Amino acid sequence: MGRGFPFETGKSSEGELLISFTTPLTYETAAEIWQSVSTLASRKENASLVLDLSAVSKVDSAGAALLRSIQGLCERKGVRLRTQSIQPPIKHFLEFLEREKPKKDKPSPPSGSMLERFGAFLIEQAAEFRDFARFCGSVFAVMAGSIRHPAKFRWAESFYYLQLAGSNAMTILFLIMFLLGVVMTFQAAIQLRQFGANIYVADLVSLALARELAPVFTAMLLAGRSGSAFAAEIGTMKVGEELDALSVMGFNLPEFITLPKVLALMIAAPLLTMWANFAGLVGGIAVSSVSLDLTPYSFMYEVYTTIEFSDIAGGLLKTEVFAILIALVGCFRGFQTSMGADSVGRQTTAAVVSGLFLIIFADAILTVIYYFLGW
Amino acid sequence: MPADSANNSTSERAICAENVSLGYGDRTILKDVSFCVEQGQIVTVLGGSGSGKSTLMKGLIGLLKPTKGRVRLYGKDIFETGAEAWLEWARRRIGVLFQSGALIGSLTLGENIALPIREFSNVPKEILPEIVRLKLEMVRLGGYESYYPAELSGGMKKRAGLARAIALDPKTLFCDEPTEGLDPVISAEMDNLLMELNRVLGITMVVVTHDLPSIKAISDWSIMVDGEARGIIATGPPNELENSSDSRVYDFFHRIARPVNSERR
């Protein structure tokens, strides 16, 4: 037997396998003992075991768990087990641990078949959609009330969020849209140059920006920056019971919490979209001037002759719809937060994911509507 | 333990604060605090709101570096060595029960308790669930392994926090307001639990509290700190402090409201 091995083996007077521990049963020794004893208990010739604790001076929680685990293993293997010569302090400690009988853990939810789980998922999604529709209804109702009594509206709060969502996002939006303009112009130029139609790069870039890319990219930025921020802010307020405090003080939460955020995004989104259009065109002009032999004047003149009011207005209308959806879903996810910091994180993520989905969904619907209206 | 003997034979004592000053930035909260805690004792740190109790605890567990003086745990200056070495040394010696329980919300109770065991010991995976069960049974939460903290009451969260604090069988346990916000019955249960852990496992305890019944029930020794004095104003067993001639101590133990700008006797 190697030096410092945690136990010695022998035979008891009744011929049982006797395991005499020689070291304390602690966190440090538990792994080695478990490995050896579990191997011994698994051998067929060892039908009964005796654990001798006479030389054990200390047992900690890991040691107690080790003894329980050995007991459980022996029960499973059909090995008879008994312990002997436990010193009084250790016996006292083990009795202290045994005084509370374990209760049954909470039942795990039934897993069900794949079809059942898919059905449950659909029901859950339908319930969520119903709750979102109700939430939107409550916000629109208070919005109507605020239009009738504008003096009661919390304008200062709205301007605060307007600054956060609007002016603070201008730099990053400019950078994104400028680079997008550069990429689009290069991509278009590769194709159009083959036909000597360089000048139509301006038409393509400006139309794509005004009708589609500027509203969608602005909305995506708002969903990532502002929708998530709204969800996190409201979620944290819920965890801190601030929402409950406001409710019992008699505040209407959709009016007090949600409406200023919705209005801020409704104002910020079209302004940012115009800014995005400008940034994209600057990118396009920069590439056209350097690589396509187009002067900034000829580029802008082409844009002026191509773009109609309906292109700009259609894009701004889209962005307005996106803004309302982003603000509403961000606030809705915030209100859905349950207790705990992890829930805030989950709902913040959900706010971004739902926001992006709603942007694309609404974009598809509006594009179809525009097509039939001839816009 | 009286402050004047703090410097003598500190190695066998669980904790010794030697002329410790603590503060945040330029603001000094506690100045020249000295005391020792013997192994196996339950010492309560008392004081009104804002008196520096929690600051003192932060200093003792190494979360706040003293601006002056030193803190010794089992004779070792906790700020003498590097942070890594200190953490390695301390993790098996101290456990901390935070005011709110400080459980990780994304983990179940079982996972919360298993976290330090899995990280800082080499117990086999077959034994780990058994240790988790034992710890939860110790705090009378047997069967709650799969519950998330958000599904528990405040008292249960505190008990679960206690189970995590003692997961690695620490020699010393620090508790910040263990009975704060609990009803009298649950508070008494928490007190009993702390006393049992002290008696059976021999855990030395430093309990920061201003819960009078709890102080009287569990304390071997009490240390009272005061915000205006910026230090310790009284030490001793709670039954002695209760009849102190110092009005600040007497008022605390007898819940006597002090008029604004009143003169002290």
The predicted-structure confidence for A135-154, as pLDDT tens digits, reads as follows 999 999 989 888 888 877 88
Question: For residue A35, which residues of chain B lie inside 8 Å, CB to CB?
Answer: 124
Q: Which residue of B has its CA nearest to A59?
A: B201
Same domain for B111 and B18 = no
Contacts of A46 (CB under 8 A, 6+ apart): A17, A40, A79
Segment A240-259 shows an average pLDDT of 84
Give the CATH number of the domain where residue B257 resides.
3.40.50.300
**Looking at the complex, does the CB of residue B189 fall below 8 Å from at least one CB of chain A?**
no
Rounded Cα distance between A8 and A23, Å, is: 10
Same domain for B16 and B133 = no
Give the closest-approach CA distance of A102 to chain B in angstroms: 5
Question: For residue A61, which residues of chain B lie inside 8 Å, CB to CB?
Answer: 131, 134-135, 166-167, 169
| Listed residue (B91, B61, B82, B81) closest to B73, CA to CA | B61
Query: What stretches in chain B show pLDDT beneath 70?
Result: 1-12, 81-88, 91-92, 259-265
Backbone angles phi, psi at B204, to 5 degrees: -75, 140
Segment A266-291 shows an average pLDDT of 94
Question: For residue B112, which residues of chain A lie inside 8 Å, CB to CB?
Answer: none
Same domain for B72 and B137 = no
Q: What percent of chain B has pLDDT over 70?
A: 89
Under the phi-then-psi rule, with left for phi > 0, alpha for psi from -120 to 50, and beta for the rest, what region is A80? Answer: beta
Same domain for B176 and B144 = no
**Looking at the complex, does the CB of residue A109 fall below 8 Å from at least one CB of chain B?**
no
pLDDT digits (tens, 9 = 90+) for A12-47: 777 788 888 888 888 888 988 998 888 888 887 777
Asked if the structure places residue B188 within a domain, the reply is no
Same domain for B149 and B52 = no
Question: For residue A341, which residues of chain B lie inside 8 Å, CB to CB?
Answer: 105-106
- Which pLDDT belongs to residue A82? 86
On the question of pLDDT at A371 being above 60, the answer is yes
Question: For residue A106, which residues of chain B lie inside 8 Å, CB to CB?
Answer: 143-144, 146-147
pLDDT digits (tens, 9 = 90+) for A91-135: 888 887 777 665 666 666 666 788 888 898 899 899 989 999 999
- Identify the band that residue A273 occupies on the pLDDT scale cut at 50, 70 and 90: very high
Copy the structure tokens of residue B87: 């953490």
Interface of B with A in 72-101 (CB under 8 A): 92
**Looking at the complex, does the CB of residue B144 fall below 8 Å from at least one CB of chain A?**
yes
Cβ atoms of A257 and A234 within 8 Å: the answer is yes
Q: Report how many Cβ contacts below 8 Å link chain A to chain B.
A: 94
On the question of pLDDT at A258 being above 90, the answer is yes
Contacts of A220 (CB under 8 A, 6+ apart): A356, A359
- Which pLDDT belongs to residue B133? 92
Domain coordinates in residue numbering, chain A: 7-98, 139-373
Tell me whether residue A243 is exposed, middle or buried, using C-beta atoms within 10 angstroms of its C-beta: 0 to 12, 13 to 18, 19 or more. buried
Asked if the structure places residue B187 within a domain, the reply is no
Question: For residue B168, which residues of chain A lie inside 8 Å, CB to CB?
Answer: 27
Same domain for B264 and B208 = yes
Helix axes A214-222, A341-373, angle to 10 degrees: 160
- Which pLDDT belongs to residue B2? 47
Copy the structure tokens of residue B201: 């496992």
B123, B144, B169 - which closes a domain: B169
Same domain for B165 and B108 = yes
CB distance A97–B196 less than 8 Å? no
**Looking at the complex, does the CB of residue A342 fall below 8 Å from at least one CB of chain B?**
yes
pLDDT digits (tens, 9 = 90+) for A181-198: 999 998 888 888 888 788
Distances (CA, A) of A186 to A201, A285, A307, B141, B196: 9, 11, 20, 65, 76
Rounded Cα distance between B183 and B190, Å, is: 10
Same domain for B215 and B89 = yes
- Which pLDDT belongs to residue A316? 94
Rounded Cα distance between A213 and A129, Å, is: 28
- Which pLDDT belongs to residue A231? 95
Superfamily covering domain A7-98: STAS domain (3.30.750.24)
CB distance A96–B200 less than 8 Å? yes
**Total domain count for chain B?**
2
Rounded Cα distance between A358 and A223, Å, is: 10
Note the pTM of the prediction, 2 decimals. 0.71
Asked if the structure places residue B198 within a domain, the reply is no
| Residue-number span of the structural domain to which B154 is assigned | 100-169
Asked if the structure places residue B239 within a domain, the reply is yes
Asked if the structure places residue B107 within a domain, the reply is yes
Asked if the structure places residue B259 within a domain, the reply is yes
Q: Looking at this predicted complex, what is its ipTM?
A: 0.79
Asked if the structure places residue B193 within a domain, the reply is no
Same domain for B134 and B39 = no
- Identify the band that residue A269 occupies on the pLDDT scale cut at 50, 70 and 90: very high
Q: Which residues is A10 bridged to in the sheet?
A: A18
Same domain for B249 and B176 = yes
- Which pLDDT belongs to residue B265? 43
Give the closest-approach CA distance of B106 to chain A in angstroms: 5
Same domain for B152 and B80 = no
CB distance B137–A97 less than 8 Å? yes
Asked if the structure places residue B195 within a domain, the reply is no
Cβ atoms of B148 and B105 within 8 Å: the answer is yes
- Identify the band that residue A216 occupies on the pLDDT scale cut at 50, 70 and 90: very high
Copy the structure tokens of residue A15: 């011929």
Question: For residue B106, which residues of chain A lie inside 8 Å, CB to CB?
Answer: 340-342, 345
**Looking at the complex, does the CB of residue A256 fall below 8 Å from at least one CB of chain B?**
no
| Listed residue (A14, A16, A313, A19) closest to A5, CA to CA | A19
Residue ranges of alpha helices (H) inside chain A are 30-42, 61-77, 88-98, 114-148, 155-165, 170-193, 200-208, 214-222, 228-239, 242-248, 253, 259-291, 296-306, 309-335, 341-373
Same domain for B156 and B216 = no
